[in-house]
Amino acid sequence: MDTMILNTMWVLIASVFVFLMHAGFAMVEVGFTQSKNAVNIIMKNFVTVSIGVLGYYVVGYALMYGTDVSGLIGSDQFVLMGSPESVAGISFDVFFFFQAIFAATCATIVSGAMAERTKFFSYVAFCVVATTVIYPLIGHWIWGGGFLSSVVGFRDFAGGTAVHAVGGFCALIGAIMVGPRNGKYKNGVPRAIPGHNIPLGALGVLILWFGWFGFNPGSTLDITSPATAHAAVTTLISGAAATIAAMILSNVKYGKPDAGLTLNGALAGLVGITAGANQISFAGAILVGAVSGVLMLLAVEYIDTKLRIDDPVGAISVHGVCGVFGTLAVGVLSMDGGLLYGGGMTLLTAQIIGVGISATVAMGLAFLTFVGIKATIGLRVEESEELHGLDGIEHGIAAYMDL
C-alpha cells in the first residue's frame, strides 16, 4: 500500500516532466524551421497533444492495454470503461496519465519531418490515426502483453522502438510522400534551409532533456527499484556523450562545431539510451550516446544528400535511426542477457525481430494512412502557399509581427 502511493507519486511527477516535452518539441521544431511557418508548427503541436490525449482516452488505451486477444491487440476499456483501480502497482489514473502523454509524443515526431509543406488538417488526420491505431497497436505488442514481448522476448524499456523508432519511421514515410520543400533540391543537390531561431531550438532541446528524466526513469513505474536512479544517470551521460560526439564529428567534417548537429546530438543520445536506460551500464551508456551522435550525423547527411528525403528537423535520423540503434544495442550491452554479458544471441535476435517488425508495420500503416489522406483532403499545400509560408494562408496570422 505504502509502496503503491510512493510509486503513484513518482509516476505522477514523472508524467508532468514528460508533459513539458511537448513544449520542447514545439520549440525545437519552430527553431529549426523558417519563421513563415512557425504558427503552423505551434498549431500542430497543440493539436497533437490534445488529439493524442483524447484519442488515447477513447480508443488508444483500450487497444494498447485492454484484454489481449491472441497477442495482437487489446479489446476492452474503451473510454476507460471497466478500468481497474490500479495497474502495475500504481493508481490507474496515473498509469493512464503517463501513457497518454507518451502517445502524444509519438505523433509529434512526424510533424517535424513533414514541416513547412503539409496541410494542417492532413496532419491532424494522421495524428488521429497515429494515436488511436498505429502507436497503440505496436505499443500493445511491446508493452501491453502482445506477442513481441510475450513470444519474441523483445525488450524496449522506455520506448526506443515503441515511441521513437515508430515515430521516426512514420516520419520517414510522411517525408517521402509529401516530398521535399520547394527549392530544397536543385538538380538533386540539397540546399540548406537554416532554422530561424537557434536559441528557441536550444531551449527546446534542453526542455526535452529535462522531460526525458521523466520519460526514462519514470518508465520503471517503481521508485523503489535501483533501475530508476540508474536510468536517470544513463540518460544524463548518454545525452552528454552524444552532444560531444556530434560536436567533434561536425568539427572534423565541416571545420566548425555545428550548432544544429550538436543540438540534435543531444537528442540522438537521449533517443539512443531510451530502450535500455535501465539495463545498460554507465560506460555502455556513454558508448551508446557517442555512437548515436555519430550515427545521427551520418544519417542526416545520407538522408539529405543520398536519399534526397527532406526532413527539416532531422527527426528521421534522431528518432528513427537512433531509436533502432538503441534498441539493438540492448541486445549487445544489456547487463541482463546482452551479448557482451554472456547472453549469447538470444536477446539480440529478439531485438532485431522486434524492431524489424515494429518499424515495418509502422511504415506500412503510415503509408496506408497517408495514401488515404492524399486521396481525400490531399497532403501538400499549394506551391504559392508554401512560398509565402503556411502561417498566413492556413492560419491568417504571422508568428512575429513587429520585430
User: Cα separation of 319 and 351, whole Å?
Assistant: 17
Among 82, 151, 183, 282, binds a second copy (CB under 8 A): 282
The window from 179-187, 319-327, 370-378, 389-397 that contacts a second copy (CB under 8 A) reads 389-397
Q: Is residue 390 a contact residue for a second copy (CB under 8 A)?
A: no
Residues between 251 and 270 that touch a second copy (CB under 8 A): 254-260, 262-263, 266
User: Cα separation of 146 and 142, whole Å?
Assistant: 6
Contact pattern for a second copy over residues 103 through 132, marking x by CB under 8 A: -----------------x------------
CA 234 to chain centre: 18
Strand 86-87 relative to strand 90-91, pairing: antiparallel
- Judged by CB, which is closer to a second copy: 237, or 318? 237
Q: Is residue 236 a contact residue for a second copy (CB under 8 A)?
A: yes
User: Cα separation of 153 and 116, whole Å?
Assistant: 40
Cβ(205)–Cβ(28) below 8 Å: yes
φ/ψ of 108, rounded to 5, equals -55, -35
Q: Is residue 65 a contact residue for a second copy (CB under 8 A)?
A: no
Residues between 8 and 47 that touch a second copy (CB under 8 A): 8-10, 12-13, 15-17, 19-20, 22-23, 26-27, 30, 34-36, 38-39, 42-43, 45-47
Q: From the CB of 292, what's the least distance to a second copy, in Å?
A: 13
Cβ(144)–Cβ(65) below 8 Å: yes
Contact pattern for a second copy over residues 284 through 303, marking x by CB under 8 A: --x-----------------
Q: Coil, strand, or helix at residue 310?
A: coil
Among 62, 100, 296, 328, binds a second copy (CB under 8 A): 100
Q: Is residue 322 a contact residue for a second copy (CB under 8 A)?
A: no
User: Cα separation of 215 and 232, whole Å?
Assistant: 10
Q: Is residue 140 a contact residue for a second copy (CB under 8 A)?
A: no
Q: Is residue 94 a contact residue for a second copy (CB under 8 A)?
A: yes
Q: From the CB of 148, what's the least distance to a second copy, in Å?
A: 28
- Judged by CB, which is closer to a second copy: 27, or 316? 27
Cβ(103)–Cβ(136) below 8 Å: yes
State the burial class of residue 311 (Cβ atoms within 10 Å of its Cβ: 0-12, 13-18, 19+). buried
Joined grid coordinates for residue 363: 511504415
